[in-house]
Amino acid sequence: MRRRFTETADEGRSELQAERLPAELERRIDVLEGDAAARRDFDRRSWLWLIVLGVVLPVVLLILGWSL
């Protein structure tokens, strides 16, 4: 059984409700969660692009912006 958060309109707060999801949807969620846990999040190529686009490129653009 899965749980989900819902907001109540009268008080504007979130509360946890337990309700049964359809069996097929629950099966698909379990397959996706199991697959995600089995593999690594980032490989070497992903880390390279993360560093290049997130660190190197902004530093280069800052240097170019100061010199103009």
Q: Is the pTM of this model over 0.75?
A: no
Question: pLDDT tens digits for 1-44?
Answer: 555 655 555 555 555 556 677 888 888 888 888 766 666 777 88
- CA pair distance 41, 50, nearest whole angstrom: 12
Q: What is the pLDDT of residue 50?
A: 93
SS3 content of the chain, % helix, strand, coil (to 5): 60, 15, 25
Block residue for tokens 């593999």: 39
Q: What Å distances lie between residue 13 and 56, 57, 64, CA to CA?
A: 43, 42, 48
Residue among 2, 5, 23, 29 nearest 15 (CA): 5
